[in-house]
Structure 1
Amino acid sequence: MILFPAIDLKDGKCVRLKLGDMDTATVYNEDPADQARAFEHQGFEWLHVVDLNGAFKGQSVNSAAVGAILKATKNPVQLGGGIRTLPQIEDWLDRGLARVILGTVAVRDPELVKEACRAFPGKVAVGIDARGGKVAVEGWAEASSLGVVELAKKFEGAGVAAIIYTDIDRDGVLTGINWGSTIDLAEAVSIPVIASGGLASIADIVRMTMPDASKLEGAISGRALYDGRIDPAEALAILKGKTREANW
């Protein structure tokens, strides 16, 4: 079970949004590479990065910041936001990304996702962001008519490395992960699922260790780490089975 610390990039800075609204950005670190180093030093073994500007514009915008992050950490990095073509995917993987995350293009052109999975085995994840149970695209600015499980099932057997499932209604507001919908998705498909959106406290970390969550690959944490609501050492120890508090 992996806890993925998140670096969301807006205008070259490390920020967090509330409910996917770009106007609510709080800057937590003006140096994303420094933040990447800090997460590695704290013991995290992966890094989740989103180019927020890129998600809205449909092309990479914060590439310089991502490049600096890749140079700053030895941890594998997965990146989403504005990656919409095979040449873009290849370019990012050549630059050292462990995984690219395809979101909008997964809705608009599922065949491209499947082609990318064939070309780059194990390197392509799908981001499914949902509001009210329906998939959102274009940096969450647009709703589609697709249901979450309906979209996920399109990629069964295609070689997708993981599905990152974000409940937009919980993202950045520390109300707890939507465990019901996330686990339902994990049970509906064979693709590993990563929970995202709303992780709030150590209680969510403990929830990750419950038997019904065992199908998940892990969860992403942003604001709770930055605000100090989750102690990295305690969280990682719980996930490694080295401690289990009885009071949560």
Structure 2
Amino acid sequence: MEIFPAIDLRNSQVVRLTQGDYNRMDVYSSNPTEIAQQFKQKGATNLHVVDLDGAKDGKLVNFNTIRSIVEQGGLFVEVGGGIRDEQRIQQYLSLGVNRVILGTVAITNFPFLQQMVEKYKEKIAVGVDARDGYVAINGWKEITDTKSVDFCQKLADIGVKTIIYTDISKDGQLSGTNLEIYQELSQIKGLDIVASGGISYEKEIVQLKKMNLYAAIVGKAIYTDTLQLDRVIQLAK
């Protein structure tokens, strides 16, 4: 199983939100490139980057920061946050980003998603954020009437390869992740599932690996030293 340490960017700083709330934000570093370097030194080969400014108001505030992270090399970088048109996809891919994550637009403009998956194939991932089993959009503020597991199956049917699934209620709480939902999602054929949100214990890494999940994202737990990144990477191997 792959491990993706997370760097969430706001105004070019490394931050973590609690349950996606911009008013509950902790700042961990003003040097994201240095944080990415530290992750590499601990054995990371992947990186999950979220542009929170992009997600909130669609602006490319953190573009140069993401460029500098990608340019230092040695990491498979996926980027999400406010990617809602093909121009933004092309901008990131031209930087050398390995995979871009579509979120809200995957629900609000499904035909666009289909076109992008056809064109860019495995370079397009979909972020499925859910609360109480229903997909949430627009920075988690709006809950749709689309059931999250059904939506994941629909994504698999159109050829989406990678899904990053986040249970919002668990995110940033350091109280554990939703193992039951990942067990259910692991049954969908042809999908690489990335577990995201609330992973706080070594035993969860072991359990997710047993489910044959493709990857897990670790965020707040590694910033607060609840989990040690190098140890998590070893457990996932």
Greater shift, 49-58 or 95-104, is seen at 49-58
Greater shift, 157-166 or 221-230, is seen at 157-166
1:121 corresponds to 2:121: yes
Residue pair 1:18, 1:24 contacting (<8 A) in 2 also: yes
Runs of 4+ displaced beyond 2 Å: 58-61, 156-159
1:55 aligns with 55
Q: C-alpha offsets along residues 197-231 of structure 1, whole Å, 9 cap, x if unaligned? A: 00002122222232xx11x1111000111111112
Instruction: Compute the displacement of 1:189 (Å).
Output: 4.6
- Percent identical pairs in the alignment equals 38
State how 1:225-236 maps to structure 2 within 5 Å.
225-236=222-233
In structure 2, give the amino acid aligned to 1:185. L
State how 1:178-197 maps to structure 2 within 5 Å.
178-197=178-197
Instruction: Compute the displacement of 1:36 (Å).
Output: 0.8
Taking only aligned residues, the RMSD between alpha carbons, in angstroms, comes to 1.3
1:108 aligns with 108
Residue pair 2:200, 2:221 contacting (<8 A) in 1 also: yes
Helix, strand or coil: the match of 1:16?
strand
Structure 1, unmatched stretches of 5+, are: 241-248
Helix, strand or coil: the match of 1:154?
helix
In structure 2, give the amino acid aligned to 1:141. K
The 2-side partners of 1:32 and 1:72 are apart by 12
Which among 215, 218, 221 is matched to residue 218 of structure 1?
Answer: 215
Q: How many residues align?
A: 237
Helix, strand or coil: the match of 1:198?
coil
State how 1:132-147 maps to structure 2 within 5 Å.
132-147=132-147
The 1-side partners of 2:107 and 2:60 are apart by 18
Instruction: Compute the displacement of 1:172 (Å).
Output: 0.6
The 1-side partners of 2:165 and 2:51 are apart by 17
Instruction: Compute the displacement of 1:183 (Å).
Output: 1.9
State how 1:131-170 maps to structure 2 within 5 Å.
131-170=131-170
Structure 2, unmatched stretches of 5+, are: none
In structure 2, give the amino acid aligned to 1:123. K
Helix, strand or coil: the match of 2:204?
helix
Residue pair 1:129, 1:165 contacting (<8 A) in 2 also: yes
1:12 aligns with 12
- C-alpha distance 189-152 of structure 1, shift in aligned 2 (>3 A): farther
Instruction: Compute the displacement of 1:96 (Å).
Output: 0.6
Instruction: Compute the displacement of 1:192 (Å).
Output: 1.0
Instruction: Give the TM-score normalised by structure 2.
Output: 0.95
Residue pair 1:177, 1:198 contacting (<8 A) in 2 also: yes
- C-alpha distance 105-120 of structure 1, shift in aligned 2 (>3 A): same
Q: C-alpha offsets along residues 21-54 of structure 1, whole Å, 9 cap, x if unaligned? A: 0111101111111111111111011000001111
Instruction: Compute the displacement of 1:20 (Å).
Output: 0.8
Instruction: Give the TM-score normalised by structure 1.
Output: 0.91
In structure 2, give the amino acid aligned to 1:15. V
The 2-side partners of 1:238 and 1:169 are apart by 25
Residue pair 2:53, 2:61 contacting (<8 A) in 1 also: yes
Instruction: Compute the displacement of 1:157 (Å).
Output: 3.7
2:88 aligns with 88
2:206 aligns with 206
In structure 2, give the amino acid aligned to 1:204. E
The 1-side partners of 2:18 and 2:199 are apart by 13
1:28 aligns with 28
Instruction: Compute the displacement of 1:156 (Å).
Output: 2.2
